[in-house]
A and B are shown apart, each in its own frame.
Chain A
Amino acid sequence: MVDLRELIRVNRYEWEIPVSHRRDMRVPVRIFATKQLLDEIKGDKSLEQAVNAATLPGLVSPVVVMPDVHQGYGFPIGGVAATRLPDGIISPGAIGYDINCGVRLLASQVDYESVKNQLPELADNLNRLCPSGVGKKGHINLKINELDRVCKDGSRWTLRNGYASEADLRRTEENGSLDGADPSKISKRAKERGRQQLGTLGAGNHFIEVDVVDQVFNQKAAQAMGLIAGHLAVMIHCGSRGFGHQVCTDYVRDFQVAVKRYGIELPDRELVCAPLNSPEGKNYLAAMRCAANYAFANRQVLAHFARQAFEESLAGKVANWHLSQVYDIAHNMGKIETHEVDGELVEVCVHRKGATRAFGPGFQGLPSEYRSFGQPVLVPGSMGTASWVLVGTPESMRRSFGSSCHGAGRTMSRKKAKKSVWGEDLRKELQAQGIHIRAGSMAGLAEEAPQAYKDVDAVVETVYEAGIADKVARLRPVVVIKG
């Protein structure tokens, strides 16, 4: 465990674990948190895991930890680590089993007050059209050669097949498709798992939410995004499903051998890695990109069915029920990016696990209407609490490899949440607050109770005050679909 007294306080929102803390650290750990959030963090092993991450070969200083950090299974959730090309490492465990788990936000011109009575029907339609729950299969059954096209093309496949518009792709990170994806690097087993899961939500902490835009902080940015106070928005949180899980499983296993071949010693076996320019490293990067593209396509298909649900529920009752894309971001990903380090432009592999890319204004990869504001950063809270829309800043490029937080972050174990919360009681409580819940599992619902998570407003306040993100809008949920 890291003793908090060893931390160096940089300022009110930033702390550092110096390399002197442990002999095998190659770089320091930079933590964005208030004192209060730090006190919550000390309850689990997330800082120790950040220190373990700081031992990876080829790191470019520092390892960054976000205020929503919590203990993971090797790399902390809420962590960012950049390794230098060509021979810095790539680590599947520092990206996660749910490759390109991420969030999509859609805006509407639907006024909440005028459709309050239609929300139960909307909830039922979303629940029916967007399959959720353990092992659920979707409406699309892909042949393997078609799955290969999804792997290579991501959201472009959805555009060709009628699930997307050009505008959707423009407003998706990387336009919904990473170059360099190679389906030949994917196992037969992973492809079998992925064939029937495109357009499914999954379970656990994945959800579809209908939100109301509660507060707007940056009117111009909100307007560019289509976010209007008092109007509905839809948030989708999910990833690459069993396909991505299997890709990570396959490569974590392969890397158990590779790591010995390259003479890399690690404090945790889930941090297994290989040099980026090794055959193993290249193969994993190509496979990871396939899973990332699958996840972009997955969220796009779910968005298509969410639009269908809106049409079925609201057509004829409101003038305009259409959902327009705000943005789609990844928060479990490895990306090759160029960052300025000590005055030099360096090409690095940025591992973000439970952390969101948050590039600042001027980034050419953004749609033109967003370039003056910065990249949208979507931060879902827990059920029953707020979600946030932020934008990246120039400071995030300087302090956190262009990264920000990804959510509220857990603070309570699932075991404790199950014991202290009764799922059905929680559902009724949220219903009484005007939040319509559709959940496949009451036990699963209990584990995701709001009290199991940190205060998302405090998390957002930290990144805002630290200067690595700016506020655009705060949303509150009125419908939640969970598996």
Chain B
Amino acid sequence: MHPNSTSGFREIAHTADWELEVWAPNLVNLLEQAALGMYHLTGVQLAPGPGISRQFTLQVIEPETLLIDFLNELLYLAESEDLGFNHFNLQIDNDRLLSELVGTQIISMDKEIKAATYHKLNIVETNQRLFANIVFDV
């Protein structure tokens, strides 16, 4: 995807790990694009069939920590329950992120991410879009 689109992600070359550039019109959409980008990097294949729903709440300390917390929550659900998600209903209510995600079982995943890191992480606004670079430890 190209940064000229309203929202999206693309892989940036990194020597030993993976780096993603993500952009979206607002923070909630940025979280969704980061999730989709992370799944893309790991080569997640989801099973067909009825969706499985998961809900969780995260505290919003600041946008960057929220982004990392959100992605690491998805990594935990992938490892502990073999779940990946393709529908995101996210709302920020004061200092909380309310998440309702729908997805299915992960059939296969090409590669493993240990964690989303804070390295180079800085959400910036440019031309009415938010941009972030996220480096994942693999």
Contacts and interface: CB of A to CB of B under 8 A. Distances in A.
Do the two chains belong together in a single complex?
yes
Interface of A: 44, 46, 70-74, 77, 93, 96-98, 134-135, 189, 192-193, 202-204, 242, 245-246, 248-249, 252-253, 256-257, 268-270, 272, 410-416, 441, 443-444, 447, 483
Given A97-B114, A135-B106, A447-B111, 8 more contacts: A134-B109, A135-B112, A249-B72, A257-B61, A269-B64, A269-B118, A411-B15, A483-B112
B15 A412 contact: yes
A269 B119 CA distance: 6
A383 to B, nearest CB: 15
A441 B15 contact: no
Contact of B14 (A193, A269, A414): A414
Interface in B10-55: 11-18, 42-43
B26 to A, nearest CB: 23
B15 A135 contact: no
A203 B119 contact: no
Given A74-B117, A248-B115, A413-B13, A135 B110 contact: no
10 contacts: A44-B15, A93-B117, A98-B137, A134-B110, A134-B111, A189-B76, A248-B115, A256-B61, A269-B64, A410-B16
Contacts of B111: 134, 203-204, 441, 443-444, 447
B92 interface: no
Contacts of B79: 135, 193, 242
A70 B15 contact: yes
A203 B138 CA distance: 9
B110 A443 contact: yes
Given A73-B135, A253-B65, A413 B15 contact: yes
A-B CB proximity, top 7 nearest: A269-B118, A73-B119, A413-B13, A203-B112, A245-B114, A97-B114, A73-B117
Residue from the set A73, A74, A202, A412 with the largest chain B CB neighbour count within 10 Å = A73
B112 to A, nearest CB: 4
Contacts of B76: 189, 193, 246
Given A73-B137, A202-B112, A416 B13 contact: yes
A135 B78 CA distance: 8
B14 A413 contact: yes
Nearest to A255: B118
Given A253-B68, A413-B15, A415-B11, A74 B119 contact: yes
Contacts of A270: 117-119
A98 B13 CA distance: 22
A135 B68 contact: no
A29 B78 CA distance: 40
B126 interface: no
Interface of B: 11-18, 42-43, 61, 64-65, 68-69, 72, 76, 78-80, 82, 106, 109-112, 114-115, 117-121, 135, 137-138
Nearest to A195: B80
Contacts of B138: 204, 414
A72 B16 contact: yes
Nearest to A77: B16
Given A189-B76, A193-B79, A253-B65, A134 B16 contact: no
Nearest to A411: B15
A272 B118 contact: yes
Given A97-B115, A98-B114, A412-B15, A269 B82 contact: no
Contacts of A97: 114-115, 117, 137
B82 to A, nearest CB: 7
A97 B113 CA distance: 10
A150 to B, nearest CB: 19
A252 B118 contact: yes
Contact of A71 (B14, B106, B110, B137): B14
Contacts of A70: 15-16
Residue from the set B43, B72, B78, B118 with the largest chain A CB neighbour count within 10 Å = B118
Residue from the set B65, B78, B120, B137 with the largest chain A CB neighbour count within 10 Å = B137
